[in-house]
Amino acid sequence: MDPVTPAPEIPVELREVRKSFGDKPVLQGVSLALRKGTTLAVMGGSGAGKTVLLRITDGLIRPDAGQVTLFGTHIERMREEAMLPLRKRAGFVFQGAALFDSLSVFENVAFPLREHTSMSLGEITDRVHRSLSVVGLPGVDDLLPAELSGGMRKRVGIARALVLEPEVIFFDEPTAGLDPTNARLVAELMASLREGVCDTAIVVTHDIEFANMIADQMAILHQGRIADIGTPAEMRASSNPDVRRFLAGELREE
């Protein structure tokens, strides 16, 4: 068993995080805190650095400077192997679902269990079926990702993120490429997860309508910094010109 520290009140905290690629600064001092029991939407235009921010938070990318605290532990300079027990406590839904094309739905969802646990096939089967039923997809074990609709692929990606029973979930653009009906279904699924499955999440999205449906807190990332952070109502009332332009659909990166 990994030594598991109790879930802290602030499972995720970033302080003055910076990241450049070559001479291109992407994050230029980002600070934010995710409180247990809340959903934080990080919003911003394409290329604003949302995916980079989420990957830094989960230790998949290292920042150049600043501090990243995951479940009370600094991870910014931690060795990869030392990070695994912490990463196991967070589920990651990748942009575009990122399923393994040659693996069945069952094997895609089972993958984290095979990587991170020594569960028996019976235990794995139970967990995979539980996860698939949470996302409303029973009976699709043997299908390949290519045989699923875009909305179903997103759900399988979410089932895979849930299978280790995480304390926090990171969602990267869970509605990208979905029509409004399927986007609403994902929003309803995320709301239902909060009742007992996982109540704490960071959701990266450029979809304002979706963020309004699911977020307790919204942060707007622009030019490498958080322009403003607050409840959806506070953001709508924000006097920050970048926030106003973003909410009006006028803010573009890249």
Ligand X SMILES: Nc1ncnc2c1ncn2[C@@H]1O[C@H](COP(=O)(O)OP(=O)(O)OP(=O)(O)O)[C@@H](O)[C@H]1O
52 binds, among Mg ion, ligand X, none (CB under 5 to 8 A by kind): ligand X
Residue 51 binds to Mg ion (criterion: CB under 5 A)? yes
67 binds, among ligand X, Mg ion, none (CB under 5 to 8 A by kind): none
59 binds, among Mg ion, ligand X, none (CB under 5 to 8 A by kind): none
Q: How far is the CB of 86 from ligand X (least distance, A)?
A: 22
Q: How far is the CB of 49 from ligand X (least distance, A)?
A: 4
47 binds, among Mg ion, ligand X, none (CB under 5 to 8 A by kind): ligand X
Kindly determine how many residues on this chain lie close enough to bind ligand X according to the rule CB under 6 A.
12
Ordered DSSP codes for the chain: ----PPPPSSSEEEEEEEEEETTEEEEEEEEEEE-TT-EEEEE--TTSSHHHHHHHHTTSS--SEEEEEETTEE-TT--HHHHHHHHTTEEEE-TT----TTS-HHHHHHHHHHHH----HHHHHHHHHHHHHHTT-TT-TT--GGGS-HHHHHHHHHHHHHTT--SEEEEE-TTTT--HHHHHHHHHHHHHHTTTT---EEEEES-HHHHHHH-SEEEEEETTEEEEEE-HHHHHT---HHHHHHHTT-----
Contact segment (CB under 6 A) with ligand X among 2-10, 44-52, 135-143, 162-170 equals 44-52
Residue 49 binds to ligand X (criterion: CB under 6 A)? yes
Cα radius of gyration rounded to whole Å, the chain: 18
The closest residue (CB) to Mg ion is 51
Nearer to ligand X, 131 or 205 (CB): 205
145 binds, among ligand X, Mg ion, none (CB under 5 to 8 A by kind): none
Q: How far is the CB of 249 from Mg ion (least distance, A)?
A: 18
Residues that bind ligand X (CB under 6 A): 21, 26, 44, 46-52, 95, 206
Residues that bind Mg ion (CB under 5 A): 51, 95
